[in-house]
Structure 1
Amino acid sequence: MGSIVVQAFMTLDGVVQAGGGPDEDREGGFPYGGWQSGYSSAEDGEIVPEWESRTEALLLGRKTYDIFAGSWGVWDEAAGGFQGELTRRYNRIPKYVASRTLTGLGWKNSQLLGPDIPAEVRKLRAATDGEIRVWGSTELIRTLAVHDLVDEYRLVVYPLVLGTGKKLFPPGFPLTRLTLVASRALSSGVLVNIYRPAGAAAT
């Protein structure tokens, strides 16, 4: 049995849009792309690589798939360091994409889910041994939450308020009770918080 793990870099006001770069996602005229810059610390180089070493599949919405396929899907696998390591891993593992508009996928080892996303994800979780990673994909995450299909939220929270942008938990997100199972403050002021659904068994 696999586990559905949502990972997100987010601001104090919950914005998850385009933290990595100015052109990552300009939808809605978002003006603050790349807001993560300036908060790096030595610990950053330990946390995400350790998390990603557990990733056995990616579960993505259409927009995030397009971003990932245009970056990890084309970057050089021979690159040094974490970028090369993660490029190799992401190319190797299966990618499952929730979309009502795509008819084909160009990134290798990618496949479209059927129209009943909750049922497809339940089958995927039952058939996967390890963590199924969700990045971005806010609309998909809302669908998963409605059907109690998120096993863990890993939230990297930056001491920054933007006041605009796509949020991980927007208005209308379903009532979700969570338990904080781990928290770590980095020297940059960033908090790394891990939550599981209230009542979930500890591991």
Structure 2
Amino acid sequence: MTGRITIVLFTTLDGVAQAPGGPEEDPAGGFPYGGWQAPLFDAVVGEQIGTEIAKIDALVLGRRTYDIFASYWPNHTEGEGDGAIGRKFDEIPKYVASRTPLEPEWRGTTQLGPDAAAEVAALREKHENIQVIGSVDFVHTLLAAEAYDELALWVYPIVLGQGKKVFPDGAAPANLTLVAPAVTGTSGAVLLRYAPAGKPTTGDMSAPDRGV
């Protein structure tokens, strides 16, 4: 078995992926815009996310995101919509990157070890469709290690000017290639799906073969 690891993030036009869901999600650094995604609710985005979640057979989360999920989703497993997502999350294995010991009450939870990026990469041998949701701090580690197969970015038409970015200063240089047509929601959010494509190269736009 060789599964796929997909990272899913909600980000602003200036690349901020911190605390899209609510004010208390991640207030680190005094971030004042927690919950910035909520006013931009989009049924197209919701439907697309629900469709993708229905396909996954393992979930990878950073500790902060895991704590938020574990306090919400086990209590929302009835009906459709959130209920369908809650049932899916409840039944599949959850893998958590945490620097401190984890004593999970949510069934199917496993804490990753010190080399979490390598352990996530190895999950391809156990699962077919692994999804990493949110967890931007841990995502930085996965991106640097290229421990992923697809980066799915929901880019929203908003600029915040501060907060944790998908690619902060000092991020590992990388080429990405678009692997699917863009999907646009009613809010103006755009889904861009990329795969890693090696290291950047350079050239000269004024070279003769460029016709410039």
Paired with 2:30 and 2:117, the residues of 1 have a C-alpha distance of 31
CA distance in 1, matches of 2:44, 2:115: 40
Change (3 A) 1:149 1:188: same
Q: Equivalent residue of 2:38, what SS?
A: coil
Report sequence identity in percent.
Answer: 47
Q: Does 1:84 align with 2:70?
A: no
Flag structure 1 segments of 5+ consecutive residues without an equivalent.
none
Residue aligning to 1:183: 182
The separation in 1 between residues aligned to 2:185 and 2:121, in whole angstroms, is 35
The CA deviation at 1:81 is 2.5
Aligned-pair distance for 1:125?
1.5
TM-score using structure 1 length: 0.89
Q: How big is the shift at 1:149?
A: 1.1
Deviations 1:12-56 (A, max 9, x none): 011111212222222222211221123234422321111111111
Q: Residue 159 of structure 1: which of 157, 182, 196 is its match?
A: 157
- AA at the equivalent of 1:121: V
How many residue pairs match? The answer is: 196
SS of residue in 2 equivalent to 1:10: strand
2:30 aligned with 1:29, yes or no?
Answer: yes
Aligned to 1:131: 129
- Measured after TM superposition, the shift of residue 147 of structure 1 is 2.0
Please give the residue correspondences for 1:1-203 in structure 2 after superposition, counting only pairs within 5 Å: 1-73=2-74, 75-78=75-78, 80-128=79-127, 130-181=128-179, 182-198=181-197
TM-score, normalised by the number of residues in structure 2: 0.85
CA distance in 1, matches of 2:117, 2:44: 35
Higher mean displacement: 114-123 or 85-94: 114-123
Note closer, same or farther for the CA distance 1:46–1:175 as it changes in structure 2 (3 Å cut).
same
**Structure 1 residues 133 and 76: CA distance shift in structure 2, 3 A:** same
The whole-number CA distance in structure 2 between the counterparts of 1:20 and 1:119 is 28
- Give me the whole-angstrom Cα distance separating, in 2, the residues matched to 1:154 and 1:118: 18
Give the aligned partner of residue 206 of structure 2.
none
Asked if 1 retains the 8 angstrom alpha-carbon contact of 2:18 and 2:136, the reply is: no
Listed as ranges, the gaps of 5+ residues in structure 2 are: 199-212
Query: Contact 1:6–1:154 at 8 Å: present in 2 too?
Result: yes
Are 2:3 and 2:126, in contact at CA under 8 Å, matched by a contact in 1? Answer: yes
